[in-house]
Amino acid sequence: MEILFLGTSSGTPTKQRNVSGLAIRKANSKAWCLVDCGEGTQHQLLETNLTLKNLQAIFITHIHGDHCYGLPGLLASAAMQGRDKALWLVGPKKIQQYIEAVMKTTDLWLGFDIKFVDVEGLSDAFQVAEFEVDAVRLSHRVPSYAYSFTEETTPGKLNQEKLKSDGIPAGPTWGKIQCGEDVVLDDGRKVIAEDYLLPPETPRRIIVSGDNDAPELLSRVAGQASVLVHESTYTQEHLDKVGSGPQHSSAKIVAEFAETCHLPNLVLTHFSPRYVVNGDPGHSINDIEEEARSIYSGNLFLANDLECYELKKDGLLVRTK
């Protein structure tokens, strides 16, 4: 599983960071999904190997502009590039109203259908691009959601050593067993498929959170998660100054939750523009990192634009670009 950060700033872009956007896909797959689409997201995509033709679904966490203002332009570009395949758009109902209003007022015509799914009514997992996607309601000034991406379960591999030791010939018979089909051999023996299948690998899960001041709301999906991507807009010191009104998280709040849940990998993003590289104390991105590291003992990253991460089969998240 791979995640690529297209924007990591909160509220407004900076010289180093665009506003929110994240791509997720199975490793080596052309098909991909987009989580949030802040202004400039399609420009960021030009720096990647992702194409709008292979985009399977867009998931919007909430209606605030830094998470959705880039959506109309991206859809228009997809149409201009000749896309004709329907596109899933999952998000709050107001996202649909927003897109329909822009299309009407700007005379935007799309040569493909948008299949809108109201996240507020999403009770079952949504299947797309080899993922099962679940939504979790968060705590923010407007309805906000996290999306949990769990890879589809694959059948267990064949226990080839046992097949060979039991004299079961390779070939079409093994293929049937791999598909879970019981078979009868030429010598009359009945082979029960499940006796020759190794246990399936535990599916990996990545949670991508929208704006949220209560990480504990993710407890239901965090237990089986390998990675949590969560906003860390402020340090706790600054959050105490601005108060609860913005309803954002500090590095401390997120780190405490991740540590309590024993999450193996944590990626912080959505940083206030006040935090910059090599900034003075109180204005340095290092303040965010130091606060999180003082609490969280797992594998910690602070995301930067256009960084790519891969979640390995063993559950370790590594930065690949």
Residues designated as active site: 66
Nearest Cα neighbor of 239 from 220, 258, 225, 253 is 253
Dihedral sign for Cα atoms in the order 283, 289, 294, 295: positive
According to DSSP, the β-strands at 55-59 and 87-91 are parallel
* Sheet of strand 126-128: strand arrangement: 126-128, 131-137, 145-151, 205-208, 227-231, 265-269, 299-302
